[in-house]
Amino acid sequence: MFNSLSDSLENTFKKLRGHGKISEKNISDALREVRLSLLEADVEFSIAKDFINKVKEKALGETVMKSIKPGEQIVKIFHDELTELLGGDQVPLDLNPPARILMVGLNGAGKTTTSAKLAMRLKKEGRRPLLIACDLYRPAAIEQLGTLGAQIDVPVYKPDASETNLVKVAKDALKWAEDQNGTVLIFDTAGRQEIDEKLIEELKDLHKFLDPKETLLVADAATGQQAVSVANHFDEAVGITGIVLTKLDGDARGGAALSMRGVTGKPIKYIGEGEKLENFSEFHPERMAGRILDMGDVVSMVEQVADKIDEEKAMKSAKRMQEGKFDFNDFLDQMAMIKNLGPLDGLLGMLPGMKKLKKQLPADALNTDKFKHMEAIVLSMTPKERERPEIIKGTRRKRIAKGSGTTIIEVNRLLKQFGEMRKMMRSKGKMKQMMKQMGGMGDMKDLLGGLGGMGGGKGGKGLPF
């Protein structure tokens, strides 16, 4: 997401930084490139034009022109204006009672899954959500919502298959909800491949009856230029209060995120960045602007890690590392935690400068499928071998390779790098040095390169996890 736009902006900033002094011509030339990049990223024309004009006005200001580092000043201007374009401040849901949320959008945008994701998030926040299936055209959607509700232990209202009156379904659902002790009702509605009048009229009637506190438009981030007309149409029909962008983990150009907020004036409240139900988070304009400009989003990364990591296990492993007692059992625990974090590509993309760094890594350095090979090797060891890997000699290595479906070369590589890591840990001075290096971007390349080396790639030395 936003990769092409990020690359273009980085090239523009690089050129500007190369000039000792910024002139009006420098800025105009640079902004011309940015404007083209925005349009190529499917940002709506008027939005791109207004954005460029605002940046240009500030970039030509006396403070910037006389600045010691005008290139850096312009980057800040871009960040501030992008933040403003994306909404400025994060806007929370209105969950004052009666808390009713109406989910609308086209087919394929992910309304049903998003409804469940939202319910899961609200449940974690201490609320008692209820899911209500209002898609009377797709029985599969009703069953899907029921399945997802069961996974997260949230009650789901499913109408009779013969029911065709949407308002009656809503009435029956409200009666059902009275006995469920819920605090937030989430209504998953039907969509179409294209907006039609029948769909709009049904939504209008449902909206009028429910009078929901929130009407959220669920939109696929890959919608492109169509995003503007879709957002406008739904907003005019039912008055959307916010937007949920799905599939931000894909290779969409990202223009929808910039256009929909700018055209409707309605905030983006949540984003979905994966198929798993936990891949759902609040939208923070300032953080997203940082990601687009490759400044990173460390706060969101820490929040995601904290939510998925077992702190007690992590502290235990850290202590064993410091004491030099780390063995392959601890290694398995680390592997489980890493897999639970999801794709490393998306997570590490939140670190400053990471987009540039990833281009220098081996092609498969962030491929977590390689962890399966390492895990298979360790699982093929006996409990004694995991505790004392130094006893794993020739015949044992052959047995482990055969049992894990790998080669002796891969087994040897894992044992060698694990041995090197343990030696480093046993030296307090080296351990401190290693931890210091992990905090630096330059050495992170070596760390991630090690992932490539562990899986048979061409990465350099690094930790085997």
Using the 3D structure, point to which of 260, 295, 330 is the last residue of a domain.
Answer: 295
Determine if residue 192 is labeled as part of a ligand binding site: yes
Length of the chain, please? 465
Determine if residue 239 is labeled as part of a ligand binding site: no
Q: Do 287 and 141 fall into the same domain?
A: yes
pLDDT at 443: 38
Determine if residue 324 is labeled as part of a ligand binding site: no
Determine if residue 407 is labeled as part of a ligand binding site: no
pLDDT at 460: 38
Q: Do 123 and 167 fall into the same domain?
A: yes
Q: Do 204 and 308 fall into the same domain?
A: no
Alpha helices, H only, 323-440: 328-340, 344-348, 354-358, 369-379, 383-387, 394-404, 408-426, 428-438
Domain assignment of residue 353, yes or no:
yes
Q: Do 397 and 437 fall into the same domain?
A: yes
Q: Do 173 and 258 fall into the same domain?
A: yes
First to last CA, the chain: 26
pLDDT at 354: 53
Residue 244, class by beta-carbon neighbours within 10 Å (0-12 exposed, 13-18 middle, 19+ buried)? Answer: buried
Per-block average pLDDT, block size 10, for the chain (465 residues)?
69 69 77 82 84 85 62 78 84 91 89 95 94 91 94 94 90 94 93 78 93 92 75 89 83 67 87 84 83 60 60 70 76 75 59 54 56 87 91 92 91 88 64 46 38 40 36
pLDDT at 303: 58
Determine if residue 443 is labeled as part of a ligand binding site: no
Distance, in Å, from the CA atom of 239 to the CA atom of 17, rounded to the nearest integer, reads: 44
Distance, in Å, from the CA atom of 243 to the CA atom of 219, rounded to the nearest integer, reads: 7
Domain assignment of residue 175, yes or no:
yes
Please give the residue range of the domain that contains residue 228: 99-295
Distance, in Å, from the CA atom of 204 to the CA atom of 234, rounded to the nearest integer, reads: 10
Q: Do 372 and 447 fall into the same domain?
A: yes
Contact present, 289 and 82 (Cβ < 8 Å): yes
Q: Do 410 and 330 fall into the same domain?
A: yes
Determine if residue 314 is labeled as part of a ligand binding site: no
Determine if residue 112 is labeled as part of a ligand binding site: yes
Determine if residue 247 is labeled as part of a ligand binding site: yes
Determine if residue 53 is labeled as part of a ligand binding site: no
Domain assignment of residue 464, yes or no:
no
* Amino acid occupying residue 392: I
Determine if residue 249 is labeled as part of a ligand binding site: yes
Distance, in Å, from the CA atom of 148 to the CA atom of 158, rounded to the nearest integer, reads: 13
**What is the reported pTM?**
0.66
Determine if residue 111 is labeled as part of a ligand binding site: yes
Contact present, 339 and 370 (Cβ < 8 Å): no
Determine if residue 110 is labeled as part of a ligand binding site: yes
Determine if residue 108 is labeled as part of a ligand binding site: yes
Distance, in Å, from the CA atom of 196 to the CA atom of 236, rounded to the nearest integer, reads: 13
Determine if residue 127 is labeled as part of a ligand binding site: no
Determine if residue 63 is labeled as part of a ligand binding site: no
User: Looking at the 3D structure of the chain, how many domains does it have?
Assistant: 3
Sign of CA dihedral 68, 72, 78, 83: negative
Q: Do 113 and 76 fall into the same domain?
A: no
Domain assignment of residue 92, yes or no:
no
Q: Dihedral of the CA atoms 33, 36, 42, 44 (nearest 10)? A: 110
Residue with tokens 């029948």: 198
Task: Provide CB contacts within 8 A for 416, sequence distance 6+.
Answer: none
Q: Do 179 and 121 fall into the same domain?
A: yes
User: 10 Å Cβ neighbour count for 57?
Assistant: 11
Q: Do 156 and 288 fall into the same domain?
A: yes
pLDDT at 346: 59
Distance, in Å, from the CA atom of 111 to the CA atom of 220, rounded to the nearest integer, reads: 10
Determine if residue 128 is labeled as part of a ligand binding site: no
Using the 3D structure, point to which of 244, 260, 295 is the last residue of a domain.
Answer: 295
Indicate which CATH number applies to the domain containing 252.
3.40.50.300
Domain assignment of residue 131, yes or no:
yes
Determine if residue 191 is labeled as part of a ligand binding site: yes
pLDDT at 450: 40
Task: Provide CB contacts within 8 A for 371, sequence distance 6+.
Answer: 335, 338, 339, 455
